[in-house]
Structure 1
Amino acid sequence: MMKTAKTLALGLFAAACVAGPAHAQSVDWIRQVTRTIASKQTYPKAAQARGEEGTAKVKIYVAASGAVERAELVTPSGSTSLDREALALPSRTGSVPPPPGGATSVTVPITWKLL
């Protein structure tokens, strides 16, 4: 029997990395960011066909307006396909709620699991 793909939502308690000491991130804002990004998450077909699972951690740089400026892979998932998807996901999202303290960055885990 073939396993079905289940894209797991990003962890609601993402590890926050503040861009500068004056910028404070609220837990609510981090939750909003993770929910926004999770809404665009997909399971790459090639990774699913090969039975690949994993969690990648991605650092997302957010402008004061909420625009996603760029993303970088902090911790790879162990799958090239999943890592590519993890890096593409924030840009595909486009924007997130504006950060309360101005431009900042946040590191979020992105998980894929086959059931």
Structure 2
Amino acid sequence: MAKLWVRTAVLALVCAGATPAFAAPSPEWTGKVRQMLAAKQDYPRAAQVRGDEGTAKLKIDVAADGSLAAVALVQPTGSATLDREAIAVARKVGAFPPPPGGPASVIVPLTWKMM
């Protein structure tokens, strides 16, 4: 019984250390992140020619120093070209303002629409 308890405790500690804790971002900080992404968002020519449109949702993890910790596509557009661009937009920004309260995670929609 004691061995099981120790093993469970060790696994809990290992798992807890493997995943960084992310704070709930403030609306002001989230707004700045969205502005920075919008400034780097392009409409790829190939997607325009094909008439590709859609909204991608990105999950962006930002480290305490503002660096991009991770980016993941949580909702695709249906266009591989636009999905690649969505990921590229976050990487183009590279560094964000340091989130107040430590590391933060935010889900941001990026939309491409033909006018």
TM-score by length of 2: 0.79
List runs of 5+ in structure 2 lacking aligned partners: 1-19
Unmatched 5+ residue regions in structure 1?
1-18
Number of residue-to-residue matches in the alignment: 96
Identity, in percent, stands at 52
Q: Which secondary structure state, in structure 1, belongs to the residue aligned with residue 100 of structure 2?
A: coil
Measure the CA separation in 2 of the matches of 1:44 and 1:74: 20
Structure 1 residues 46 and 90, CA, compared in 2 at 3 Å: closer, same or farther? Answer: same
The secondary structure found in structure 2 opposite 1:88 is helix
Distance, in Å, in 2 between the alignment partners of 1:27 and 1:98 is 14
For residue 70 of structure 1, report the CA deviation from its aligned partner. 2.0
Report the secondary structure of 2:40's partner residue. Answer: coil
Compute the TM-score of the two structures, normalised by the length of structure 1. 0.79
Query: Structure 1 residue 107 and structure 2 residue 103: aligned?
Result: no
The one-letter code of the counterpart of 1:93 is V
1:83-94 equivalent positions in 2, closer than 5 A: 83-94=83-94
Give the whole-Å Cα distance in 1 for the aligned partners of 2:36 and 2:102. Answer: 18
- C-alpha distance in 2 between matches for 1:37 and 1:65: 18
**Which structure 2 residues correspond to residues 11-90 of structure 1 after superposition, within 5 A?**
20=21, 23-90=23-90
**RMSD, aligned CA:** 1.3
Q: Where is the strand percentage greater, Structure 1 or Structure 2?
A: 1
Q: Which of 1 and 2 has greater Rg?
A: 2
Tell me, in whole angstroms, the C-alpha distance in 1 between the residues paired with 2:57 and 2:84.
12
Stretches of 4+ aligned residues off by more than 4 angstroms:
none
Counterpart Cα distance in 2 of 1:52 and 1:43: 10
Measured in 1, the distance between the counterparts of 2:52 and 2:82 equals 8
